[in-house]
Amino acid sequence: MDAALFPRHDVEEPPRDCPLCPRLVEFRETWAAKEPSWHNAPVPAFLPPGGAAAVKLAVIGLAPGLRGANRTGRPFTGDYAGDLLYATLAKFGFANDRFAARVDDGLELRETAIVNAVRCVPPENKPTPAEINTCRQYLKTAINGFPNLDVIVTLGRIAHDSTLRALGVKLRDAPFRHGAEHAVAGRHIVSSYHCSRYNTNTGVLTPEMFEAVFEKAATVVRG
Ligand SMILES: O=c1cc[nH]c(=O)[nH]1
């Protein structure tokens, strides 16, 4: 990782050659052969200056996009989904407004971390239940490694359910619903539809609906 481009990193991450999910390893290696200049490895959490101790809001995504985070190495960077996510974070003061879909754009998060539930790119954006379960150890370590965390925003049902399992919460105690807020296991969770191209193009998620989620998160962080 280029230390000049990525903020201090003090969350435990899978190694670049993580062997735990054979299907994802094979997919990663196929793309590493085709596109050797791409990242093609587990995508680490994106942290604010100050590292894990500075994190008050954790945004949990699904998994890297093939030509997005898997190419660039930064969550939601190069993915269509990042346009809405970073614009919305900036609007609520959780990021500066430098996002230009490149890792050298000068984008900085503020009191916010972005962590994918699955760190490696899955074929067709669909991790299997076994891959989600296997990678949860890293999600759990990340969430538990934020000592000043106030609120978690989950993007989509898979991220939501994996976050609950990471926290040891039964799914029925905090069911996924866009805009729902739950206080469970000492954590405040706000859930959202994923900001994918499909959801935004079909109107399942509008910018206003997404902003309402981060308004709730901002209220928890700033009182
Ligand atoms: O959930 C997602 C979607 C796109 N890119 C990511 O890093 N995560």
User: What is the rounded average pLDDT of the residues 88-115?
Assistant: 96
Q: What is the DSSP string of 120-164?
A: SPPGGG---HHHHHHHHHHHHHHHHT-TT--EEEEESHHHHHHHH
The residues that bridge with 153 in the sheet, in sequence order, are: 59, 190
Say if residue 7's pLDDT is above 80: no
Confidence of residue 187 (pLDDT cuts 50, 70, 90): very high
**pLDDT higher at 117 or 185:** 117
Give 125-179 pLDDT, tens digit per residue. 999 999 999 999 999 999 999 999 999 999 999 999 999 999 999 999 999 999 9
CA dist 198 to 33, 84, 201, Å?
A: 29, 13, 5
Q: Which of 153, 142, 16, 125 is nearest to 73 (CA)?
A: 16
In angstroms, rounded to a whole number, what is the distance separating the alpha carbons of residues 48 and 27?
A: 30
Report the predicted TM-score, pTM, of the whole model to 2 decimal places.
0.96
pLDDT at position 222: 93
Confidence of residue 79 (pLDDT cuts 50, 70, 90): confident
What's the CATH number for 43-222? Answer: 3.40.470.10
Secondary structure of residue 70 in the 3-state scheme: helix
Say if residue 205's pLDDT is above 90: yes
H helices within 18-156, ranges in order? 22-34, 69-72, 80-91, 129-144
Secondary structure of residue 31 in the 3-state scheme: helix
User: What is the rounded average pLDDT of the residues 7-15?
Assistant: 80
- The pLDDT mean for the chain works out to 95
pLDDT at position 4: 57
Say if residue 17's pLDDT is above 90: yes
Q: Is 116 in the pocket of ligand 1 (CB under 6 A)?
A: yes
Q: Is 81 in the pocket of ligand 1 (CB under 6 A)?
A: yes
Contact by Cβ (8 Å): 106, 96: yes
Q: How far is the CA of 13 from the centre of ligand 1 (A)?
A: 17
Structure tokens at 104: 């050298």
User: What is the rounded average pLDDT of the residues 77-100?
Assistant: 96
Local structure of residue 60 (DSSP, 8 states): E
Sign of the torsion angle spanned by Cα atoms 200, 75, 217, 88:
negative
Q: Is 122 in the pocket of ligand 1 (CB under 6 A)?
A: no
Q: Is 68 in the pocket of ligand 1 (CB under 6 A)?
A: yes
Q: Is 76 in the pocket of ligand 1 (CB under 6 A)?
A: yes
- Nearest residue (CA) to ligand 1, atom 5: 76
Q: How far is the CA of 54 from the centre of ligand 1 (A)?
A: 22
Q: What percent of the chain has pLDDT over 90?
A: 92
Amino acid at 131: E
Q: For the chain, which residues make up each domain, given as ranges?
A: 43-222
Give 23-67 pLDDT, tens digit per residue. 999 999 999 999 999 999 999 999 999 999 999 999 999 999 999
pLDDT at position 45: 97
Contact by Cβ (8 Å): 125, 63: yes
